[in-house]
A and B are shown apart, each in its own frame.
Chain A
Amino acid sequence: MPLLQVESVGVRFGGLLALDDVNLTADEGSITGLIGPNGAGKTTLFNVICGLQSPTGGTVRFDDQQMEDEKPHQRARKGIARTFQRLEVFGSLTARENILVAAEIRKGWSKTKIDARAITEEVIDTVGLQRVADQRVDTMPTGLARLVELGRALATAPRMLMLDEASSGLNQTETDFMAGLLRQLSGQGLCVLLVEHDIEFVMSLCSKIHVLDFGRLIAIGTPKEIQSDKAVQAAYLGSEGDAA
């Protein structure tokens, strides 16, 4: 059974249907992609999954549990972690403190006893922030701040990691590092859900991709299937009529 099951989710903002009958599944130990043109509803779907946005219809199940009544912090405690397209780092804290505070928050709700400082150092090593660990995050370039956000999410020991535009603002070296890291994490059993603009990045990483357009799911498949899907091509390139 998939770890995450999104069924018939809809979100309406006034007269705008931001999501319409969307279904999505993601499995443990795999990287699932969610792509689509600007305004397709990708971030809205992320917000629904982590509880920041209530859907107007449909259900979200995580580990076969209904998430409907769970608040964002309760979902986080069940193992859902995320990053943000527009960075949500703790700017007045250092990179180390950002990760430490996440580990300490986890310590507050975790049923097992944990050593927050040891976890922090471990995560800093994993995401490669050793050299800038004591730098305040609001002085960092975007690429490093994204790694801080990723590290912070990892410090909560999630079962599912949702990354919103993980490669945005990253240079090629950083993007390659991020790709390697995500492979490693999913290899360890983590479920990774990726919203991405960088198609190449998605195609090289994901085993399954969902495509959204104007709030509707227009395709699901392997990278190969998605690349040859007519509806996806139309969504990205415009319809034939438009192209002409």
Chain B
Amino acid sequence: MSEFLAFTIIGIVTGAIYAIAATGLVVTYSTSGIFNIAHGAIGMLMAFMYWELRVNHHWPAPIALIVVIFIIAPALGAVIERVLIRRLRGASVAQALVVTVGLMVMLLGIGQSIWTPTTGRQLDLFFGEGGFRLLGITVTWHDLITIIAGVAVAIFLWFLLSRTRIGIAMRAVVDDRNLLSLNGARPDRVSMLSWALGASLAALAGILLAPVLQLNHLVLTLLVVNAYAAAMVGRLRSLPMTYVGGLALGLVESYAIGYIHLQGWLIGLRPSIPTLFLFAALLLLPESRLRAARLAGAISPRVPTRKMSLLGGAILIVAAAAFSRVLGSGDLIRVGQGLAFALVMLSLVPLTGYGGQVSLAQMTFAGLGAFAMAKVGGNGNIFGLVAAGGLAAAVGALIALPALRLQGLYLALSTMAFAVLMDNLFFQNVLGNLGSVPVARLKFLGLHFESERVYFVLLAVAFALLSLLVIWVRRGSFGRKLAAMRDSQVACATLGLSLARTKLMVFMLSAAMAGVAGALFAGLRGAAGPTDFLMFQSLPILLLAVIGGITTASGALIGGLSFALLGVVQEKIPAIGGLTFLLVGFGALSVGRNPNGVSFLISQRIRQLLPKRFEQPVSLPEPVFDEEVESVAASAS
């Protein structure tokens, strides 16, 4: 009985922390419509800030707490809202997600630059290990403080949202932003306040969690997974249900650790409980209602003609062949990795660029591909590549299915949770705990791509072929459906298109491509290790693909090569390791302004520089309906 009580108290304590973090997430999401993937990263940064003041500068705990939770965190939240979030109004789910993923990576970069991960740091429990006895078990003061903080936050939020003018405005901004401003309130200020409040709650959760878990950048950043698992119970709307979700998750986790004695590879199941909880919550969510909400028409790049794409592919292969002659073995591997990353990024072009769906697990699918290649393609067998695509597509379908009937945001969150699950449960076990498994380089039709030089050209050929495939898809019926789905889901549905099926198909295509890319990537390295395909590696993949240009194959190539270049910089100058994260994050923040990325800017510039006679004929007819435009404008005024 006392054991059960002990686990219950542990569950309530962690549940209270999850609830605090989750309510912060719900408050920001419900007032701004932007899901903050960086919520855990804010908590992480603030926990480190607290450590800095409390441990490094020996400030008294109450003062350090007040400064971090009530001054620094809200200021950070307000700045994020002012600089980033406000600009995202009317943006697509994909665009908003990419920006907050960028923010997460940037905050992680800042955290790792200031507090280097190689140095061990520790935050002690409040009042140390001391506590009191309750029904035969010891409850630490830290536990009690956490539970009190949880209750205090609940009461504070209830009072704020139902009894104060600003709180009622916060609820109103969700219902109708424009109507609220017509009634004299200032929605921007309300939104800023909610982000400040959200950051404070993230900070509180981070500070309470760090002594219990670990003062670690990645562990605390992943708090967001637990928080949104809890928030999903409240459907990202209801605060009381979010609290219930947080407590339920804390208790489930505690009882599971206490009573289910996992052995062997199932040990990885423990840290995966929030993910499993999230999937269960997703399955129970009712299907989301389609809403008529047309996005502001962003300029999308022209789809290249067949001739242009063939020419582009040929140029890439010739260039790769030429470079393979001049580059040394080490450089061939480095640039080859860039091409392999470009292949993974290319898998995002149909999914995110054309279809408007986001995956935060592309490296996980690449890892599955590498695993299949290691198992099936032992001697460089081509079937290894087929198995890589097939396995990734099949697993992708399983992951996507529960989230497909919901909005795009849920699919992205599911992929992130799935990636964390695979980090804990799969890769460590099948790709060796510390070592790695060998992966053979491809051999088919009597050709053996054993040497670095030849394998490098093979990667370029693979990129060219898959680019042609992607462009062929875009030019065809399925590609048009994807573009239509991105522009208006509601219109697609009322034309008879099954959105879930279309999303499933594009998700499987994307996962299969990532799987093939992973198999080729592992072949280049000759091995696949347990840390090669972590969730945190999928984030820069997505961000650099977007910065390069998620709507084009050339964007993926730019993104992949940049990623390799950043790796080289990090390798040569380890001191600025964190800065590369910062750079990637910062680049992604520009997505709010230019969703088509660098490749689009370059192609525009080239078009401007080209003499007129080389330009492609403009396919648009002259505006023959000028008089109609005028009459419509006149009637509108």
A135 and B292 contacting across the interface, CB-CB below 8 Å? no
Which residue of chain A has the shortest Cβ distance to B477 in the bound complex?
A: A104
User: Is A122 part of the contact surface with B, judged by Cβ < 8 Å?
Assistant: no
User: Is B314 part of the contact surface with A, judged by Cβ < 8 Å?
Assistant: no
The bracket for how many chain B residues form the interface is: 35 or more
User: Is A71 part of the contact surface with B, judged by Cβ < 8 Å?
Assistant: yes
B498 neighbours in A (Cβ, 8 Å): 73
Q: Which of A19-27, A86-94, A205-213 contacts B (4 or more CB under 8 A)?
A: A86-94
A93 and B487 contacting across the interface, CB-CB below 8 Å? yes
B492 and A105 contacting across the interface, CB-CB below 8 Å? yes
Q: A132-B621, A144-B625 are in contact. Are A102 and B495 (CB under 8 A)?
A: yes
Which one of B291, B292, B483 has the greatest number of beta carbons of chain A within 10 Å?
A: B292
Q: How far is the CA of A89 from the CA of B295 in the complex (A)?
A: 10
Which residue of chain B has the shortest Cβ distance to A93 in the bound complex?
A: B483
B487 and A89 contacting across the interface, CB-CB below 8 Å? yes
A76 and B496 contacting across the interface, CB-CB below 8 Å? yes
A152 neighbours in B (Cβ, 8 Å): 491, 495
A144 neighbours in B (Cβ, 8 Å): 625, 628
Which residue of chain B has the shortest Cβ distance to A152 in the bound complex?
A: B495
Which residue of chain A has the shortest Cβ distance to B629 in the bound complex?
A: A141
A131 and B495 contacting across the interface, CB-CB below 8 Å? no
**A111 nearest CB across to chain B (Å):** 12
User: Is B311 part of the contact surface with A, judged by Cβ < 8 Å?
Assistant: no
Q: How far is the CA of A232 from the CA of B307 in the complex (A)?
A: 62
Which one of B486, B492, B496 lies within 8 Å of A106 (CB-CB)?
Answer: B496
Which one of B298, B480, B621 lies within 8 Å of A100 (CB-CB)?
Answer: B480
Which one of A54, A92, A131 lies within 8 Å of B624 (CB-CB)?
Answer: A131
B491 neighbours in A (Cβ, 8 Å): 84, 88-90, 149, 152
Q: How far is the CA of A77 from the CA of B494 in the complex (A)?
A: 9
A105 and B624 contacting across the interface, CB-CB below 8 Å? no
The bracket for how many chain A residues form the interface is: 35 or more
A88 and B632 contacting across the interface, CB-CB below 8 Å? no
B496 and A73 contacting across the interface, CB-CB below 8 Å? yes
A92 and B496 contacting across the interface, CB-CB below 8 Å? no
Q: How far is the CA of A141 from the CA of B620 in the complex (A)?
A: 15
**B186 nearest CB across to chain A (Å):** 25
Which one of A54, A71, A100 has the greatest number of beta carbons of chain B within 10 Å?
A: A71
Q: A93-B487, A142-B632, A144-B625 are in contact. Are A104 and B481 (CB under 8 A)?
A: yes
A104 and B620 contacting across the interface, CB-CB below 8 Å? no
Q: Which of B472-490 contact A (CB under 8 A)?
A: 477, 480-481, 483-484, 486-488, 490
| Per-residue interface assignment for chain B, residues 601 to 637, with 1 indicating a CB less than 8 Å from any chain A CB and 0 otherwise | 0000000000000000001110011001101100110
Which one of B290, B488, B495 lies within 8 Å of A105 (CB-CB)?
Answer: B495
Which residue of chain A has the shortest Cβ distance to B636 in the bound complex?
A: A169
A50 and B488 contacting across the interface, CB-CB below 8 Å? no
Which one of A50, A77, A108, A152 has the greatest number of beta carbons of chain B within 10 Å?
A: A108
Q: How far is the CA of A143 from the CA of B495 in the complex (A)?
A: 21
Q: How far is the CA of A149 from the CA of B488 in the complex (A)?
A: 12
A107 neighbours in B (Cβ, 8 Å): 477
A90 neighbours in B (Cβ, 8 Å): 483-484, 487-488, 491
Q: How far is the CA of A102 from the CA of B480 in the complex (A)?
A: 10
B495 and A88 contacting across the interface, CB-CB below 8 Å? no
Which one of A71, A88, A97, A136 lies within 8 Å of B488 (CB-CB)?
Answer: A88
User: Is B300 part of the contact surface with A, judged by Cβ < 8 Å?
Assistant: yes
Q: How far is the CA of A54 from the CA of B253 in the complex (A)?
A: 37
Which one of A81, A86, A93 lies within 8 Å of B495 (CB-CB)?
Answer: A81
Q: A87-B294, A169-B632 are in contact. Are A134 and B620 (CB under 8 A)?
A: yes
Which residue of chain B has the shortest Cβ distance to A110 in the bound complex?
A: B496
Which one of B477, B490, B620 lies within 8 Å of A135 (CB-CB)?
Answer: B620
Q: A104-B477, A135-B620, A171-B631 are in contact. Are A91 and B495 (CB under 8 A)?
A: no
A138 neighbours in B (Cβ, 8 Å): 297
User: Is A234 part of the contact surface with B, judged by Cβ < 8 Å?
Assistant: no
User: Is A116 part of the contact surface with B, judged by Cβ < 8 Å?
Assistant: yes
User: Is B572 part of the contact surface with A, judged by Cβ < 8 Å?
Assistant: no
Q: How far is the CA of A73 from the CA of B492 in the complex (A)?
A: 8
User: Is B493 part of the contact surface with A, judged by Cβ < 8 Å?
Assistant: yes
B165 neighbours in A (Cβ, 8 Å): none
B487 and A71 contacting across the interface, CB-CB below 8 Å? no
Q: A76-B494, A109-B496 are in contact. Are A52 and B289 (CB under 8 A)?
A: yes
User: Is B280 part of the contact surface with A, judged by Cβ < 8 Å?
Assistant: no
A169 neighbours in B (Cβ, 8 Å): 632, 635-636
User: Is B499 part of the contact surface with A, judged by Cβ < 8 Å?
Assistant: yes
Q: Which of A63-92 contact B (CB under 8 A)?
A: 71-74, 76-77, 80-82, 84, 86-92
Q: List 9 A-B contacts (CB under 8 A).
A: A52-B290, A84-B490, A86-B292, A88-B490, A93-B487, A104-B481, A134-B620, A135-B621, A138-B297
Complex A-B, nearest 9 residue pairs according to Cβ-Cβ distance, in ascending order: A138-B297, A91-B297, A76-B496, A88-B491, A72-B493, A90-B487, A171-B631, A101-B480, A88-B488
